[in-house]
Structure formats: C-alpha cells, structure tokens
C-alpha cells in the first residue's frame, strides 16, 4: 500500500496500458480518477474493478474539458497528488501524403493534451507542495517509424516537455518524469498486423513483448517516495529494443 489515499488521475485509462496503470495504482491504495474519451463501456468495466474510483469523460485536447476534469476530480477526492498523462492516439500516413488535419489531431491529443492536463493540475500540486507527474512516451519517439511521423514527433516532444516542466516545479517537491514504452502485450501493439509485430520482435534482445506488469511497475515506483530524487528523467521499458 505504497500509495494509500493518494489521489491519482490517469488519462486514457479505459483500456490497455492506461487501465493497467489505474489498476496497479489502486492496488497500492490510491484513489483513482479514470478518464476516457469515447470508450464508455470499457471505462465502466475499469470503474467496476476499482473500489475508490471516479469516472470522467474528457477530450484532453480541449482545454475547457480538461479544466472541468481537474475541478471534478478535486471536488470528488479533495485534491490530486498524481497525474499520469497516458491518453494517446495514432493516425498513420506517409509524411508527403499526410493531411494536415491528421497531423494536428495526433499532436493535439498526444502532446497538447499532456500540456493542458499539466497546466491545470499544477496549481493544485503547487499549493500543497507535493506531486508526481508521469508522461507516457514511446520508443517510436526515439527511433522513428515510417508512416508515423506525427506520432513519433508527439512522443519525442513529451521527453523535452518533461525535462522543462521538471525544472519549473522542482522547488515545490513536484517530480516530472517520462516512461517510454517499447512493444508491450497491450494497447496499440495488439492492433498491429502480425507481420509488423514479428518484425519488431526480431529487434528486441529479450525476444518477447513486455507484459502489463512490466509496464506498470516503473510507473508505480515513480509515484512513490522512493523516487523522490528522480525528476526530468525518461525510463525506457522496451526489452532493449533497437533498430
């Protein structure tokens, strides 16, 4: 129960890695605000698995909606201790054929979304003088992927964003870190064609995809007091993936 009574807000937590993170935090005693954009039925399933939980529908690219989400969470639980910026989408296309709207849509959710959530949660954390913010990135932001320049740019941008905000709020005992995932047995990886999955597997020294337990462990650790001297860092959870 390392996070007993801590209030955690996890964006995009109706399914996949986001759901696994929400469940792992709850297992450590946290009270969790689960959010979703369109997957209401899956979000309800997550809600039913956590005893101290609230459910909020939100589009993280919409600032008014994000501000409302923060207000509702504080109203329900009294505060917010931990923010996990997990919500993300991909809309693939080769760069010279990519419509600008597809580029904007991915950046709006994957990069502007974490900015807006961070912007509106920081006054709560700064007032109490404690907080944890964890941004969920991807190995694609480090190595790139043909057909996913928008996704790669958004995930790479999260690393720089993490480092900058960590410097801004360190004096208030708020840490800001990033967890960058490789190919896990969850989320977008499960929706890839099998041919792509097998090609990725050849570049993983551990010769397997990561498990949900392996995905959530570093996130839980960064939320605890044991990680209080770690900020502005990116933890790579990818089995040694290379290209």
Please state the domain count of the chain: 1
Domain-located, residue 242: no
- Residue-level pLDDT at 243: 63
Structure confidence by residue, pLDDT tens digits, 145-165: 888 899 999 999 999 999 999
The structure tokens listed for 144 are: 């790139």
pLDDT for res 145: 84
Asked if residue 201 is part of any domain, the answer here is yes
Residue range 21-38: mean pLDDT, rounded: 95
Residue 18 banded pLDDT, cuts 50, 70, 90: very high
Give the mean pLDDT of 168-192: 89
229 part of the active site: no
pLDDT at position 92 is: 87
Report yes or no on 243 lying in a domain: no
**pLDDT, mean of residues 128-140:** 96
What are the pLDDT digits (tens) for 179-188? 999 999 877 6
Write out pLDDT tens, residues 77-128: 999 999 999 999 989 889 999 999 999 999 999 999 999 999 999 999 999 9
User: Is 112 domain-assigned?
Assistant: yes
DSSP-H helix ranges across 78-211: 100-107, 113-128, 140-143, 149-169, 194-201
| Mean local confidence (pLDDT), 182-200 | 81
The secondary element (H helix, E strand) that includes residue 235 is: strand 234-237
Least confident of 54-68, 101-115, 193-207: 193-207
State the pLDDT at residue 147.
Answer: 87
Residue 177's domain comprises: 7-237
Query: Quick check: 63 and 108 in contact, CB under 8 A?
Result: no
CA 225 to each of CA 5, 16, 59, 163, 229: distance values in angstroms, whole numbers, following the listed order: 14, 26, 31, 20, 9
* pLDDT value for 175: 98
Q: Can you tell me the mean pLDDT for 130-148? A: 93
Q: Is residue 227 situated within a structural domain?
A: yes
CB 34 within 8 A of CB 25: no
- The helix (H) or strand (E) run that includes residue 56 is strand 53-57
Query: Which CATH number characterizes residue 80's domain?
Result: 3.40.50.720
Beta strands 82-85; 7-10: pairing state? parallel
- Global pTM reads 0.95
Q: Does the residue 2 lie in any domain? A: no
Query: Does some domain include residue 1?
Result: no
User: Which residue of the set 36, 151, 181, 241 is catalytic?
Assistant: 151
pLDDT > 90: percent of the chain: 80
Mean pLDDT of all residues in 168-174: 98
């Amino acid at each position: 129960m390392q996070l007993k009574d801590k209030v955690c807000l996890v964006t995009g937590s109706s399914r996949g890695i986001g759901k696994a993170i929400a469940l792992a935090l709850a297992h450590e005693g946290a009270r969790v605000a689960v959010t979703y954009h369109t997957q209401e039925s899956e979000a309800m399933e997550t809600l039913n698995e956590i005893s101290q939980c609230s459910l909020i529908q939100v589009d993280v690219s919409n600032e008014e909606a994000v501000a409302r989400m923060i207000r509702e969470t504080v109203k329900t639980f009294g505060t917010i201790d931990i923010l996990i910026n997990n919500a993300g989408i991909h809309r693939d296309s080769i760069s010279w054929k990519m419509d600008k709207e597809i580029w904007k849509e991915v950046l709006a959710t994957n990069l502007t979304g974490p900015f807006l959530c961070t912007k509106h949660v920081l006054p709560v954390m700064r007032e109490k003088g404690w907080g944890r913010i964890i941004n969920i990135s991807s190995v694609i932001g480090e190595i790139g992927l043909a057909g996913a320049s928008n996704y790669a740019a958004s995930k790479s941008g999260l690393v720089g964003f993490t480092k900058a905000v960590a410097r801004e709020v360190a004096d208030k005992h708020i840490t800001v870190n990033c967890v960058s995932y490789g190919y896990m047995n969850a989320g977008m990886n499960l929706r890839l064609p099998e041919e792509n999955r097998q090609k990725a597997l050849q570049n993983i020294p551990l010769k397997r995809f990561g498990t949900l337990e392996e995905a959530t462990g570093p996130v839980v650790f960064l939320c605890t007091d044991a990680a209080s001297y770690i900020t502005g860092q990116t933890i790579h959870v990818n089995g040694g993936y290379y290209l």
